[in-house]
Amino acid sequence: MTVLASRAGNLPEAFTTFVGRRHDIAEIRRVLGSARLLTLTGTGGVGKTRLALEVAATARKAFPDGTWLVDLAPVGDASAVATTAAAAVGIVDLGGRPALDRLAVRLAERRALIVLDNCEHLVDACAELADALLSACPGLRILATSRQTLGIGGEHVFTVPPLKVPDEAVELLRDRACAVRPDFRITDDNWDTVTRLCADLDGLPLAIELTASRLRTLTVEQAADRLEDRFALLTGGSRTARPRQRTLRAAMEWSYELCSPAERLLWNRLSVFAGGFGLDAAEAVCAGEGLPAQEVLDVLDRLVVQSVVLPAEHEGLPRYRLLATVREYGRERLAESGEEERLLRRHRDFHLALAERIAGRWYGPGQEEALTRLRAEHANLLAALDRDDDPQATLALASALRFYWCAGGFLAEGRRQLGRALSAAPEPTLARARALCAASWVALLQSDHAAADGWLREAGELGERHGDGALLAHVAGLRGTRAAFQGRLADAVPLFEHAVAAHTVVTEKGSAVFLLFQLAAVQMDLGDPRGETTGRQAVELAEAHGERWARAHALWTLSCHAWRQGRREEALALIRASLEIERGFNEPLSAALMLETFAWIIASYGEYERAGRTLGSTRKMWRDVGVEISVFGPPLDDDHAQCERSVVRALGQEGYERALAVGGRHDTPKQAIDSALGVGIDPAPVAAAVPGPLTRREREVAALVAKGLSNRKIAEEFVVSPRTVDFHVENIRAKLGFTSRAQVAAWWATQAPTTQ
């Protein structure tokens, strides 16, 4: 049996079969039927995590609202336990309210299971989290794994035993050995040796798997002989350790000794990574002094074969990881080698360079991929930020992650890290000034204007002192944001105009796109006729640079304006295009704003049920981030109220509440957007409700699409840039609710006679 991801949750898919423990699984499921907290205890390497995941996978029908894994192994700070759990459940951290409160709201009415894994080093924080969630969420069950119990009322404990010898232990050895040596067989001739080997390993799954990986090159007899020698050595050197700990350490020591010098060196050095790592990180951090960069991949592959390193994946990115026990052992050996400090500095420097590279290229292509990479490196980023040997480097890293904090959904973590870094490095450096700007942006998004004012004032003073034009341009833009958020729209306009002009002179022109979007929004709210032109400029600038994040916001602003001007067909096309982009960012605040506008527009076309579900999604996201829509000004609040009244009139209060409940079931902004846009369902109702939605130019483009011309050929036909044609095609698909060019062509074939 293998572990499979459930419909709602994040259980990882296993790379190996699950062997034995049928009785244990049945007993744990029986206890979970009545107990709300069950803790699996046992020695390291006994298989607590794998057993918990198998139970969660086999019991997922009993928890229809989701099963989630919260991996605490890479978490070193007790204060991060709740935020880690919230992230695992899919709650994006924007700092609007405590993570524990948002978790409780999310799970309050769900029949769900959380696997709280590797609690032993954070047992007090885990106990507090479990106690609070179980009190607030009557349908929730928690399955914890820990070397010690959590020690709270109502806790049930299941001590995970070693595998039975010979039955389960021998079966595991056979299964894993066959994976690396297909011709491996257990026969009458080697049965006694195999059972003796498993008995010497005390039936510990991790020790057995490490041993099985060596049967690629060793016979069972050789493995047993070598292990016996190692046991004798370690028993004499560590009499205070428990037998199973000695056995596990013996297996680790034995596996380590059988590695080549290069494999040992890489094992040691990989231990500086937290959570996981990519090949580029391994090559950059671990190469050198005995391990040339061009050899890292080959040595890493050999460690994978030996089960020292495990292949993994994060949102489609290939990754690697070390089991906690393997990592701890490697870290001990790294410390003994005298390389630990140097490797930790290289680890920090690699992630600083990565963050600065992403920040420097942010207003260009690849933003979604950049955020995916940073999310994959989250544990490593926090580990690097925890270093205290170079406060200026920490300050630079916290600042370089500004788009991760603000566009990636980690406002609270960003506020904490920036505050810590600023306190530790008070010197009036440019690194401090940049960090002050980043901290100001975070504070503004959290509606903490007092903190933002103080940080912006100091950032401006440092910018003047150092004569840094780019920094002063950032300060001016943030001052414009502050004025806009405070309702001082007339004051915001000249600040944004100055910032846009400064950015085009001293920085990459593309970096002005987000300022243009904000300027457009303020101008439109003031009734300035230049607002729409400014918004179009923002879209065009974003297109020219391959930028998508600010482009989505600019399209949303233009949609709101078109809606209020009565141009609802245009508003619908713009908001659909905006949401299509926003799907990739997984950021609930922006998604909620954009979905609100979508709900208003489709309600005006009579799509009341769909509008109600969409409002249910936004209501949930507003609650998750702890923000009310009224914070963004009366126009949005008024449009929301008008839409709500129209939906209630059409569906009745009871029908509206049902629609809200359905919309509130989505776990991520992407799921909510997919549902609203009809991804995976027939989008025809909205398309049919919009008669003749295409502009003249869009009809011309659709005709050429139907003839089979590529976007580049169409661009040549009209003597425009390919990006302009891309924009037209995207608008056509958005307006018609289509997902492919073939659908556009088929539609044109039926509509051409009446639309030309």
Give 135's contacts (C-beta < 8 A, 6+ positions apart).
none
Give CA torsion, residues 540, 543, 548, 551, to 10 deg: 10
Task: Give the model confidence (pLDDT) of 308-347 as tens digits.
Answer: 888 888 888 899 988 877 888 899 999 999 999 999 999 9
Instruction: Quote the pLDDT of residue 204.
Output: 85
Cα(102)–Cα(92) distance, integer angstroms: 10
Q: What is the largest CA-CA distance in the chain?
A: 92
Q: How far is CA 121 from CA 65, 303, 592, in A?
A: 29, 27, 37
Distance from C-alpha of 594 to C-alpha of 582, rounded to nearest angstrom: 9
Q: Confirm if 272 and 334 have CB atoms less than 8 A apart.
A: yes
pLDDT confidence of residue 429? 93
Question: Which are the contacts of 228, defined by CB distance < 8 A and separation ≥ 6?
Answer: 200
729, pLDDT greater than 50: yes
Q: State the chain's mean pLDDT as an integer.
A: 86
Residue 282 has pLDDT above 80, yes or no: yes
* pLDDT at residue 330 in the model: 92
Whether the CB-CB separation of 455 and 436 falls below 8 Å is answered with: yes
**pLDDT at site 739:** 66
Determine the 3-state secondary structure of 706 from DSSP: helix
pLDDT confidence of residue 621: 86
Q: Please list the residues that pair with 21 across neighbouring strands.
A: none
Per-residue pLDDT of 42-86, as tens digits, reads: 877 888 999 999 999 999 889 998 999 999 988 888 989 999 999
Spatial separation of the C-alpha atoms in residues 264 and 198, rounded to whole Å: 25
Flag whether pLDDT at 1 surpasses 60: no
Read off the pTM: 0.77
Q: Is the pLDDT of residue 350 over 50?
A: yes
Predicted pLDDT of residue 235? 41
- pLDDT the model gives residue 447: 85
For the segment 213-235, the average pLDDT, to the nearest whole number, is 71
**pLDDT one-digit tens code per residue, 623-666:** 877 667 766 666 777 888 899 999 999 999 999 999 998 898 88
Mean pLDDT of 595-624: 91
Distance CA 67, CA 588 (A): 21
